[in-house]
Structures are given as C-alpha cells and as structure tokens.
Amino acid sequence: MLVGVGACALAGGCGYRSAFSRSPSEVRLSVVAAPFATPHPEAAAESLNGARDELAREGALGSAPFPRLVIEVIRVDELPAGIAMNPGQPALARGAQVGVTAHGWLEERYGGPHVRDTGDVRRVETVAQTADSLGSSLSAVDAIRSAARAAGRGIALRALGVAEPAMEPM
C-alpha cells in the first residue's frame, strides 16, 4: 500500500495532464479569424474574444504573429423552443435556441500545416422571444454572441490539449 502511494507521488501526482507535450503556460498563441461565410460577423468577433479570454486565463495568450490559433465560424443555427397557442390566432414561438458551430487549428508558421485541429465545437444559448420583433431580434443577436464566445473558449481549451466537450445538443 505504501509503495503504491509513493509511486503515485513520484509520478508527479494524480490528475489530468494535457494531451500535448508542452504545458499550456509554455505556449503563447495569438488568435486570428479564418475567412468566414456566415452572415453573422458578430459570431466571428465573439468567438475570437472568447478564445483570447480563455488563453489569457490559461497564461497562453501571445502577441507574436506565430504560433497562432485560427478560428473559423462554420454555422449559426436557430430553432424554435416553445410554442404559444392562443385560440383563433396563429402559433407563436416563445423562445429560440441559437447554436454556433466553429472550428479551430494552430498554425506554427506562415504557410505551415494546420496542427492541433480542434474539430467542430458547438455551443447553444436559449433566448426568449416576444411579440416585439425588434426586442426579439436584439435578444437573438445577444444569444449568438454568447454562444460564439463560449465556442471560442472551448476551441482555445481544446487547442491547448485540455479536455472539452465538442457539442451541446440543440
């Protein structure tokens, strides 16, 4: 028993280790956007902000051009979440689920290969909708921003080798 405890202590302790050889504190990454085709530039901007926030919290945010984390917003989806039925009136959605799917990879030098591909990372936010179309539109944009920021954080963690779920259901 004592031998088992001693072996665990000599092995550097028990717990999760990064999947990559360098620790996150040794890596300094800048963050850039890949060309995107989504009609939601706010999603692209917030995914970059989320990645920068997470890298800064991990002590891995850098300002040099390389190495860099490249983030591409792939898709922004919206599905109704709850329907209001009033007799004699058309059905009205009372809420929506907004999902942002993004993808990231590292570039270590200009023209170099994509490494540490994160795969698709999806985050979902639920937003209430009202009969006021302007208020509902603003709420939907806020939900897109929030989901994109969360996706950017997830991409940064995955790029650093930290375990992070890829998808949230919608």
Q: pLDDT at residue 22 above 50?
A: no
Is 134 a domain residue?
Answer: yes
What CA–CA distances, in Å, run from 95 to 83, 121, 125, 160, 166? Answer: 8, 23, 11, 35, 24
Is 54 a domain residue?
Answer: yes
pLDDT at 7 (0 to 100): 45
Query: pTM to 2 decimals?
Result: 0.77
Instruction: Indicate the pLDDT class of residue 2, thresholds 50, 70 and 90.
Output: very low
Question: What total of structural domains would you count in the chain?
Answer: 1
Tens of pLDDT, residues 109-124:
998 899 999 999 999 9
Average pLDDT over residues 55-81: 93
CATH of the domain at 50: 3.30.160.150
Q: Which domain holds residue 29?
A: 20-159
Is 104 a domain residue?
Answer: yes
Is 3 a domain residue?
Answer: no
Is 165 a domain residue?
Answer: no
Which contacts of 114-121 are long-range, i.e. CB under 8 A and separated by 24 or more positions?
A: 114/70, 116/20, 116/158, 116/159, 116/161, 118/154, 118/155, 118/158, 118/159, 119/158, 119/166, 120/74, 120/166, 120/167, 121/151, 121/154, 121/155, 121/158, 121/164, 121/166, 121/167
